[in-house]
Structure 1
Amino acid sequence: MNIGIIGLGLMGASFAKRLSPQKDKTIYGIDQNKQTIQTALELNIIKEGSTDPGKLIKKCNLIILALYPTMIKPWIVENQQYLESGTILMDISGVKTNIVEPVQAILRKDLELISIHPMCGRESRGINFAQADIFDNANYIIVPTNKNTPTAIEAAKQLGKDLRVKNISILSCEEHDRMIGFLSQLTHVIAVSLMNTHDNSHLVEYTGDSFRDLTRIATINEDLWSELFLLNKDILLDEIDQFLDATKHFRDSLEKEDIDEMKRLFIQSTNRRKLFNK
């Protein structure tokens, strides 16, 4: 299999690091940054690299789109002319409804886009932070639509196996975006808001594990996450509203010194958190 990875940042280069040692795969890299391509060649994670997609992607039968979400459709419009008939494309974007359906609508009939989402990442960005083991304990979501064939869905499953992810699941675009709105986007909003509550730099010497754990993801790629939030705006606003309601309820219980209700909330949260330890 010849795999073209479009975008050799943190995730794209991590794909390359995991897949390039596999003898049945040849990895080609496309990136707008020449130095990034040179780094990928020096790391021996791609066979060839270029800033010009037209030079390499015609060699590939699988394309992994490791681009910022709003870059995916323009890339398809500009470059699908170079792709061989039957090529499968896989985007890894963090939101789906407002990305996948518009792209599928303009895609050539002899090409196919199947959306995937490895639930992994790091706070850092760029090829220098890429790691093959980023996938080791990851959940991996396949997000097909009615335009996808069983062949493409099976190819997405096989890629997950090749990445050696922990779990492979299938969700619809709507299910995915609702899930990601709560599990990922809302948690980032909470972490960012917590860090912005006070100018808390003077507290660094006193920080404990709880604060570090809660705010780890407050170190955030502002360009990427602004896009993700806006593309999932309605769902994320609803999740924020539900969180504010839960916070207000806890605040009211505290103000009333309702210790029974506070204990009930503690017990409920403890029991729900245990489910994630499995």
Structure 2
Amino acid sequence: MEWISHSRILIVGLGLIGGSYARALKRLGYHVTAIDKRQAAIDYALENHIIDDGSVEVEQAVVGSADAVIFGLYPRVFKDWIARYQGYLKPGAMLTDVTGVKSCIVYDIQEMLRDDVEFIASHPMAGREVYGVENSDDGIFRGANFIIVPTEKNTAQAIRWLGGLGRILGFSRISVLSPEEHDEMIGYLSQLTHCIAVSLMTCSDNEHLVDYTGDSFRDLTRIANINDLMWSELFMLNREPLLKYMDIFLDEFSALRDMIRDGRVEELREKMRLSTKRRAYFNKPKTN
């Protein structure tokens, strides 16, 4: 399947990312249907012209009419959905996801999936500290990174198809990683940072800190406004890479503490210079 305007797209799980995909794809002329367990989410998406059709029920006719299905479900729910409803899928349908962990789901889904449909995993590296289709905004994809996560079971056609999705959604960089490489990367770049933000917010119970804080604390703790159900599941499913980077962080933090305690100013400054140098890799170029 190519990304042509008459394609019918089904989005299962109409949260922030699923809703943002729906906005973008409908704006581009695709027929977008959604399934979500919340009637309020379906109603909101219909009233705001984010989708063309929607339901809280998994109906065979709806699933079977989709040329492509994008899953915005929690990992375990995603696997359960495939096990229960894959018989409804149209032969030749392409499937992808937005799930934050890969090794624990990709191989299982590909193993159980019918031979006449193809699942190729992906991860849009975009989001906000809010949830639900009510907060969706396809502008979050512009300038963001998009990761394709194939296995040896995936075809070259599927990789091209998924790259096409990333491009039409507006992502600026499209990368390809194995499930293991993805989970290693996400343990550091995303999950560790969320752990640090949570820890910062639980260090003090002083309710008056908000009266004194500056932007640095707000910036560091923005992602501490966290969906505990989703993120606890992601942490547990990717615990080995996450624990590895938590240990590395603890060692680095302890070393920094010891430099301050012992008055080792030159070592402290060298650590700061290294931090500044590495942070520069992430600075986005200015646009005119």
* Equivalent in 142, 162, 166 of residue 136 of structure 1: 142
The residue that corresponds to 1:78 in the other structure is 84
The residue that corresponds to 1:277 in the other structure is 283
SS at match of 2:208: helix
Partners in 2 of 1:213 and 1:21 — Cα distance?
32
SS at match of 1:28: strand
Partners in 1 of 2:189 and 2:27 — Cα distance?
32
**1:146 aligned to 2:152?**
yes
The residue that corresponds to 2:4 in the other structure is none
SS at match of 2:154: coil
Alignment of 1:198-237 (within 5 A): 198-237=204-243
Q: State which drifts further: 12-21 or 38-47.
A: 38-47
Instruction: Percent identity, please.
Output: 48
Q: How many residue pairs are counted as aligned between the two chains? A: 277
* Equivalent in 144, 161, 185 of residue 167 of structure 2: 161
Alignment of 1:63-142 (within 5 A): 63-142=69-148
The residue that corresponds to 2:38 in the other structure is 33
Q: How far off is 1:68 after superposition?
A: 1.2
- For residues 2-34 of structure 1, the C-alpha deviation after alignment (integer angstroms, 9 at most, x for no partner) is 1100011111111001110112x2111111122
Amino acid at match of 2:83: V
The residue that corresponds to 1:176 in the other structure is 182
**1:267 aligned to 2:273?**
yes
Partners in 2 of 1:70 and 1:122 — Cα distance?
22
Q: How far off is 1:61 after superposition?
A: 1.1
Amino acid at match of 1:191: A
The residue that corresponds to 2:254 in the other structure is 248
Q: How far off is 1:35 after superposition?
A: 2.0
Aligned-residue Cα RMSD (Å) equals 0.9
| TM-score of the aligned structures, taking structure 2 as reference length | 0.94
The residue that corresponds to 2:14 in the other structure is 8
SS at match of 2:37: coil
Partners in 1 of 2:194 and 2:176 — Cα distance?
24
- For residues 254-277 of structure 1, the C-alpha deviation after alignment (integer angstroms, 9 at most, x for no partner) is 111111110110111010101111
Q: How far off is 1:50 after superposition?
A: 1.3
Amino acid at match of 1:41: L
Q: How far off is 1:99 after superposition?
A: 1.1
Q: How far off is 1:55 after superposition?
A: 3.4
Partners in 1 of 2:214 and 2:57 — Cα distance?
48
SS at match of 1:157: helix
Amino acid at match of 2:154: N
The residue that corresponds to 2:3 in the other structure is none
Partners in 2 of 1:172 and 1:87 — Cα distance?
22
Alignment of 1:179-194 (within 5 A): 179-194=185-200
Q: State which drifts further: 153-162 or 48-57.
A: 48-57
Partners in 2 of 1:22 and 1:277 — Cα distance?
30
SS at match of 2:92: coil
Q: How far off is 1:52 after superposition?
A: 2.1
Amino acid at match of 2:164: Q
Partners in 1 of 2:218 and 2:52 — Cα distance?
40
Partners in 2 of 1:161 and 1:142 — Cα distance?
12
The residue that corresponds to 1:48 in the other structure is 53
Unaligned runs of 5+ in 2: 1-6
Partners in 1 of 2:61 and 2:20 — Cα distance?
22
SS at match of 1:123: coil
- For residues 19-66 of structure 1, the C-alpha deviation after alignment (integer angstroms, 9 at most, x for no partner) is 10112x211111112221111111112111112222311110100001
